[in-house]
Amino acid sequence: MVPALQLLLLLSGTGGNLGVFLEGRPGDRVNISCTGVSHATRWAWAPSFPACVGLLRGRRPVFWASAPGNPTPASTSPFTGRLRALDPNGIQQLELLLARGDSGTFFCTGIGGRRDNESRTSLKVLGDLAACRTPSSTSGSSYPVFLYPLLGVGLALGLAGLGIAWRLRQAFSMLIWTTFPSETQDGCARPSPRMPPLSMQ
């Protein structure tokens, strides 16, 4: 009986709401309402795919009711130019022009900022799951599979090149420092001194 009563209280708006689910495509306009909270003072947003929009996980403010009749978007809001208050005297209802990466949860908080008395709206932008999937979850395991063979081929070619260069250096040194025999005045061959290669000095 008690759980059923609590459920009715939540549905009636005295303790916030159970959450609303919205869905749309980039370019659509959706209305986000603060239901179950009598005097909305702040909106926050937690992205579902923070890496897609260059953000960290967690909530970030997007709209304030800084003064009666003066709705103010947060200076760091990622929805600048796309999110506006429909009510000129408050922020009970917002309108958002959807874009890629907007998927997430919007939190509306009233006076006092208690999280047990807030409105939650889950937003899903169609296509975000595929477009904003983190690279590590899709290609992280296959990347080394292609990388290791390339590294092996590069290492083998490098070692082969070093071996050829060493042999050429030895032959070139012998060619430079080895002189041919010369003849003496009596016509006899006189051995010329042979200097060892640089590697043997």
CATH of the domain at 76: 2.60.40.10
The answer as to whether 142 is a domain residue is no
Residue 147 confidence (pLDDT) = 59
Consecutive H or E run containing 182: strand 182-183
Q: Are 108 and 16 contained in the same domain?
A: yes
Residue 141 confidence (pLDDT) = 45
Quickly count: other Cβ atoms within 10 Å of residue 188's Cβ: 7
Residue 153 confidence (pLDDT) = 78
Q: Average pLDDT per run of 10 along the chain, which is 201 residues long? A: 37 54 96 88 93 88 80 88 88 94 93 76 93 56 54 81 81 62 54 53 52
Q: Are 56 and 113 contained in the same domain?
A: yes
Report how many domains make up the chain: 2
Residue 70 confidence (pLDDT) = 75
The answer as to whether 34 is a domain residue is yes
The answer as to whether 198 is a domain residue is yes
Q: Is the pTM of this model over 0.75?
A: no
Quickly count: other Cβ atoms within 10 Å of residue 74's Cβ: 18
51 within 8 A of 124, measured Cβ to Cβ: no
Q: Are 99 and 46 contained in the same domain?
A: yes
Give the DSSP letter of residue 27: T
